[in-house]
Amino acid sequence: MRKYNLSKAVIAALLAALFLLGNGTELRAHAAADFDLNMNPKQVKQWSNGPKVTVNPKGEAGTVQVHVSTRHLAKGSYSAYVFENRQRNWNNYGEISFNLANGSDQPLKMNVVATLQDGTGLTIPIGGMALLETAGQERLEAIFNTYGSLELKGHFQGTVHVPFASLLPQGPSASERENPSQLIAAIASWGITTSLEEKAEQSFRFGNIRGIPKAEARADNEIARVRVNGELEVQKPVQGESIAGYSPKGLPDKLTASFRLAKPEQDASLTADGKLTLKAGVTAGQLSMRMDVGSRWSFPFEVKLVPSWTLKRTEKDGTSLSLPTPDKLSPLTRESDPWLHGGLKSFIRIGSVLSLALVLILYVFWRRKSQDRSGF
């Protein structure tokens, strides 16, 4: 399976937005009096580098239905960008959220792109984080950008939260923007990029955008810097136990973190303070684990369990370095060795006993002689 990289799609999306700006596309000022930032269907645009993109703004209230197809394309990875070309003022917000429903069986690989009026593009970089809210879950679940995209599982339905601390500038001037949250004021356009392979189809719906006031979004922006620290690949023990440790990184002082297994696994245990213990009988190839932070957030992560290196490592001459079992131990001596012949060993034992007996007899005889002499 190929690894997607949406960095090209993000750049293309920014170029598309800049093209519209440069060609005088109408930008209507919109100073939201409330937190409702729903899209105007007439201002929803699209761009792609080959896929057929169908945008239906007449879906559920405040949402846009999108269908992307690469059935007609040759082998490769392709991208599409659906965005609202509308000026907005996000200055009072510290986070945006929007509803998203993945209508396909396969994961939706997506990212968020916002373009400022000066042409600066903001997106979630590799390693950046968003938060997912789904019905029935008590906590917001952290999801990270890997290979350029956020991956939402098939038929995901919920709300995506994007703290502004997760939106970083792209392009040559990005290094000069050390505090991007202060930049997010006059937005020229914003939207979603997605990527998929050839001969595929992807359907999703998004909308109901809301701006979260800065004071309310402060905690989520602090959480955007939290990460799990620890090994993501642990060896299964051949004998005894394997132990690994996990801890939070970048955790605000006022918050605490606790660890747990997402589901019980035989011969594997995880303490609340992050100590993972594997026993020799563990058979799982992967463990699903979670770091719960405070009462609001959860960081899911996977730990791969691999066979111990001792089972495969060899010396330069090909000799195995695996731990031997008793039945595989090579004999240290040969049975043909005359010094270890059964008869010789018996003769040595008998001779040793007789020698000891002779020494005792001689000692008793010598003792009596000494006593007789002392009697005269």
pLDDT in tens, 30-48: 333 335 567 777 789 999 9
Write out the DSSP string of 120-186.
Answer: -EEE--TT-EEEEE-TT-SSEEEEE-BTTBEEEPTT-EEEEEEEGGG-EEESTTGGG-S-GGGT-SE
CATH number of 227-311: 2.60.40.10
pTM of this structure: 0.75
Find tokens 């000022």 and name the residue. Answer: 29
The per-residue pLDDT for 349 is: 84
The per-residue pLDDT for 120 is: 86
CA 286 – CA 317 distance, rounded (Å): 33
Superfamily (CATH H level) for 7-223: Galactose-binding domain-like (2.60.120.260)
Asked if pLDDT for residue 308 goes beyond 90, the answer is no
Please report, for the chain, the start and end positions of each structural domain, with discontinuous segments joined by +: 7-223, 227-311
Binning pLDDT at 50, 70 and 90, where does residue 374 land? Answer: low
Asked if pLDDT for residue 21 goes beyond 80, the answer is no
How many CB atoms within 10 Å of residue 275? 13
CA distances (Å), origin 27, targets 87, 121, 164: 5, 17, 23
Tokens representing 351 are 């001779």
Write the DSSP symbol of residue 39. -
Q: Which residue has the higher pLDDT, 48 or 62?
A: 48
CA distances (Å), origin 200, targets 1, 8, 53, 204, 246: 14, 19, 12, 14, 39
